[in-house]
Amino acid sequence: MKITPLAIPEVLLITPARHGDERGWFSETFRQSALEEAGFQAAFVQDNHVRSTTRGIQRGLHYQKPPHAQDKLLRCVVGSIFDVAVDIRKGSPTFGHWVGAELSAENRQQLLVPKGFAHGYVTLSDACEVLYKVTDYYAPQAEGGVRWSDPAIGIEWPIPLNEITANDRDNAAPLLAEIETPFAY
């Protein structure tokens, strides 16, 4: 398993090894000890599975507030997505900055998004399925969001904005400047 910090080093890109033969392949997609060696100490408590039916579906930017904040480990097992983490930690030198990576069934890469980051993605192909682990249970009272198209963040989505479909909640999420971030650096 190869673990690479991105431009915001708390966000990790993980590439599991794949071992194949004439029967197919085997890949270890999660190993707690490997994450611990990379400095990630939390334990995952819930797995989620999301299916999107068409290219250009936007999900996020979401986060959960303390005491239900979540770290997320995401992978795309069908199709491909452009996955993004935005630093929303007050006082962080990278506050408001984003990092992103293409995750696909082909490249097998995963993104570890820590607490203190808003997370979202756009589908790059039809029929996408995303699996992700979280370190706290879903708590609707702790939900937070930042508008995915906030020009102050300036995410460079690989699909034109007019071809992206988001739900009403994500389109109406507050801008980064409008949230009171519960996270400190």
Q: What is the rounded distance in angstroms from the CA atom of residue 132 to the CA atom of residue 113? A: 10
Q: What is the rounded distance in angstroms from the CA atom of residue 169 to the CA atom of residue 174? A: 10
Average pLDDT across the chain, whole number? 96
| Residue 128: band (very low, low, confident or very high) from pLDDT cuts 50, 70, 90 | very high
Here the contacts of 12-15 (C-beta below 8 Å, separation 24 or greater) are 12/38, 12/40, 12/111, 12/112, 13/101, 13/109, 13/110, 13/111, 13/112, 14/73, 14/109, 14/110, 14/111, 14/112, 15/107, 15/108, 15/109, 15/110
What pLDDT score was predicted for residue 27? 86
What pLDDT score was predicted for residue 28? 87
Is the per-residue pLDDT at 45 higher than 90?
yes
For the chain, give every domain's residue range. 1-17+27-176
Task: Give 52-86 pLDDT, tens digit per residue.
Answer: 999 999 999 999 999 999 999 999 999 999 999 99
Helix (H) or strand (E) segment spanning residue 90: strand 89-90
Lowest mean pLDDT among 20-29, 51-60, 112-121: 20-29
- Name, in order, each residue with C-beta under 8 angstroms of 181's C-beta and a sequence gap of 6 or more: 88, 89, 90
Helix (H) or strand (E) segment spanning residue 12: strand 12-15
| β pairing state of 98-104 and 24-27 | unpaired
pTM of the model as a whole: 0.94
Contact 17, 23 (CB under 8 A): no
At the top level of CATH, the class of 1-17+27-176 is mainly beta
Residues annotated catalytic, as ranges: 62, 132
